[in-house]
Amino acid sequence: MNQSEFRPKALRRHRLFESRDVDETRELISRVMQPHSLAPFGDGGGRSHMDFVKIGRIGLGAIGFGSGMRVDVDAVDGYYLMMFCVAGEAEVCAAGRTVRVDARQGVIRAPGEPFSARLSPGCEQMVLRIEPEALGGGAPLVGASDAGLVQFTSGAMRAWQQQLKLVASSPELLASACANARVGAHVESLLINLLTAGPFDVPAPRVRQAVMPAFIRRAEDEMIARLATPLSLAELAAAVGVPVRTLCAGFLRFRQTSPIQYLRQLRLDHARRTIRATAAHVRIADIALDCGFTHFGRFAQSYRERFGELPSQTVRKR
């Protein structure tokens, strides 16, 4: 597939922002993806944009920076990240390897995994945010020592990219998938099933009567003790005495989610209980802060995604 063939015109109707300010661009992307650093280079105009929409448990987006850009991510925040280029190219460093990413091959990074990327001037990425729950408890998409390189030249992955192209380029199909839960579920299922049929998906060996490691419970206790204070993935791993990769693998296996996503769920549940138990004069923003949420907009968005309503719509104590 030539790069020019993939034109995500349907996504253009879901533009989140355009900006020439690097700090604003970093902040706005972080609201949807994860915290990261940006360092521009070269001369490409410098206008950044992001288009993004959610279909079930898959987030589909397009990101362009105009100028060349170096991106550094300490840890993917609780989901699988897949990316490839529809314009330009990128070099991605992950798991000790540097791989080229373009329209013919991309990369997948697992929850908690770090990576860096150097994007060419004028590069536009297709990015997918895939919640671990969407995999239905199957094997992880990338192994612990795998750079996550994915080829789109043949087989299931070529079919996957073709279906993604159809969704991203058809305004009517994308609108239906967003508006109709049944259509969205079918689109999600098709993309996930093709993705997990890829050559990188090697089922883990069966282990009978697997016993949950003690560090999972220690991590949960640490999360509960620190609901109101910042807690990074590295700090959590250090507190329970295991490497970050081991912690992430354990949570994916025994909790079907990432440690950071699990912590966010605990905080959201605590916030909901607190909102219900307090009178209307107590500010919801103060409750969110006490539950470890420093950005109210992200808190409200996550709250609605988990409970189907905004915090202000939750019935409170009279």
Q: Give the span between the Cα atoms of 247 and 226, in whole angstroms.
A: 17
Percent share of the chain, pLDDT over 70: 90
Domain CATH code at residue 267:
1.10.10.60
- Spatial contact of 202 and 139, defined as CB atoms under 8 Å apart: yes
User: Which of 156-160, 198-202, 249-253 is the most confident on average?
Assistant: 156-160
Question: Residues 156, 245: one domain?
Answer: no
Q: For the residues 162-166, what does the mean pLDDT come to?
A: 92
Domain boundary at 150, 168, 196, which? Answer: 196
Question: Residues 176, 273: one domain?
Answer: no
In this prediction, residue 226 carries a pLDDT of 92
Domain CATH code at residue 165:
2.60.120.10
The whole domain housing 285 covers 214-313
Report pLDDT digits (tens) over 197-240.
765 533 333 344 467 889 999 999 999 999 999 898 889 999 99
Supply the Cα-derived Rg of the chain in whole angstroms: 20
Closest of 269, 249, 267 to residue 259, by C-alpha: 249
Count of domains in the chain? 2
Report pLDDT digits (tens) over 259-270.
888 899 999 999
Report pLDDT digits (tens) over 121-141.
889 999 999 988 888 755 556
Question: Residues 253, 308: one domain?
Answer: yes
201 in any annotated domain: no
Closest of 60, 59, 66, 70 to residue 92, by C-alpha: 70
Q: Which residues on neighbouring strands pair with residue 108, listed in sequence order?
A: 82
pLDDT band, very low/low/confident/very high, at 318 (cuts 50, 70, 90): low
1 in any annotated domain: no
In this prediction, residue 36 carries a pLDDT of 82
169 in any annotated domain: yes
Question: Residues 51, 126: one domain?
Answer: yes
